[in-house]
Amino acid sequence: MMIIMKANATPQQVEAVIAQVKSEGLNVHLSQGVEATIIGAIGETHSIPPDRFEGLDGVESVQRITQPYKLASRQFHPEDTRVTLDGFAVGGEEIAIIAGPCSVESRSQIVETALAVKEAGACALRGGVFKPRTSPYSFQGLGEEGLEFLAEARDRTGLPIVVEIMSQVQLELMARLVDVLQVGARNMQNFNLLRAIGEIRTPVLLKRGLSATVEELLMSAEYILSGGNRQVMLCERGIRTLETSTRNTTDINAIPVMKNLTHLPVLLDPSHSTGHADLVPAVARAAVAAGADGLIVEVHPDPAHAVSDGKQSLKPEKFAQMVDQVGQIAQVMGRRLAVVRGEHPSARQGWT
């Protein structure tokens, strides 16, 4: 339920409404935007009539949120959320480009890649250290050693690091060392993990599951938001369909659909959605044209010898060409590419 306050409502009136919401056994979510102050009454509201709040001083109107996801809904939070990292914002006018290898393989590999992607225009570095593999015999990642290599690459470049988390047992370590936690497609509905992530304030990149609907993705985001972590970004990474010419099917429709339904930033992963390096630039261009707030792209200095996902990884020089292309499209869309402004990242700066 949304309680929309009048433009001239006083702080005392807002506090009085919040007290009434709490007295009904509901949780409160306060959104103070440029145009309106909205008090979200979160919980079981079906038995509570709107007129319970409509007569309170300072209240303009009361509306029920029709979507099952409340906090993620644009109906509840009309203004775009911006997740800030090292001076740039994901979800505003800037378009963030996150790049790096599927797996951290060695110190030299990740540092070389980090230097190359920053030079090309990336604003954050991705790299897997705990790898969810289809086969138990495939490379599973370097673990904590890989995190150390990523931290060194961050120190060398100033790029914030984005790392996939696989389990709750990794949360304390990852929250301490990582700038953005990536929740992969296979863990999108790992609700225990999502609840735990909701209790911390580290930014999260939540990827859509292989066969998940947009609503299911938004409901997963709701788990994190309801725990108090508002620094959530969504990622379309292709879904499983009957088509076999690509690794997955890029649901380009999902970008404008989600931009209409939610205030959260929406990114696209052209690497996993296609599975072929030569298709990545075209899909990346399409994503920016469709309104995506960012891209996450796999880049490797020697894709032919990558331990995982080499087939879909761009070489640094191809990545640089792609960045130039999407930058031109961003200008046409009235936007610009995000850049790292500091020598070292100041992670977890908050949600605005």
Q: Helix (H, G, I), strand (E, B), or coil: what is residue 46?
A: coil
Helix (H) or strand (E) holding 220: helix 214-226
Give the architecture-level CATH label for domain 83-337.
Alpha-Beta Barrel (3.20)
pLDDT digits (tens, 9 = 90+) for 231-253: 999 999 999 999 999 999 999 99
> Using 50, 70 and 90 to split pLDDT, how confident is the model at 352?
very low
Task: Please report the pLDDT score of residue 349 as a whole number.
Answer: 39
> Using 50, 70 and 90 to split pLDDT, how confident is the model at 340?
confident
Average pLDDT over residues 200-213: 97
Task: Please report the pLDDT score of residue 151 as a whole number.
Answer: 95
Name which of 238, 303, 318 is nearest 101 in CA terms.
Answer: 303
- Is residue 269 within 8 Å of 295, Cβ to Cβ? yes
Beta strands (DSSP E) in 138-271 are 161-164, 180-183, 204-207, 232-236, 266-268
Give the span between the Cα atoms of 258 and 238, in whole angstroms: 14
Instruction: Sketch the domain layout of the chain as residue ranges.
Output: 2-63, 83-337
Give the span between the Cα atoms of 183 and 162, in whole angstroms: 10
Q: Does residue 135 or residue 64 have the better pLDDT?
A: 64
Residue 334 has pLDDT above 60, yes or no: yes
Dump the DSSP string for 178-217: -SEEEE-GGGTT-HHHHHHHHTS-S-EEEEPPTT--HHHH
Give the span between the Cα atoms of 238 and 222, in whole angstroms: 21
**What is the model's pTM?**
0.89
Residue 292 has pLDDT above 70, yes or no: yes
pLDDT digits (tens, 9 = 90+) for 146-165: 999 999 999 999 999 999 99
Residues 156, 158, 159, 160, Cα dihedral to 10°: 110
- Is residue 227 within 8 Å of 250, Cβ to Cβ? no
Give the span between the Cα atoms of 149 and 333, in whole angstroms: 37
**Superfamily assignment of 2-63 in CATH?**
Phospho-2-dehydro-3-deoxyheptonate aldolase; domain 1 (3.30.70.1140)
Name which of 158, 202, 96 is nearest 341 in CA terms.
Answer: 158
CA distances from 271 to 140, 259, 287, 300, 323 (A): 19, 21, 12, 12, 14
Give the span between the Cα atoms of 226 and 27, in whole angstroms: 9
Average pLDDT over residues 120-145: 82
Average pLDDT over residues 282-301: 98
Q: Does residue 85 or residue 114 have the better pLDDT?
A: 114
Which tokens sit at 67?
Answer: 């979507």
Least-confidence region, from 129-138, 217-226, 308-317: 129-138
pLDDT digits (tens, 9 = 90+) for 37-73: 889 888 888 889 888 999 999 999 999 888 889 999 9
Residue in the structure block whose two tokens are 């009539």: 49
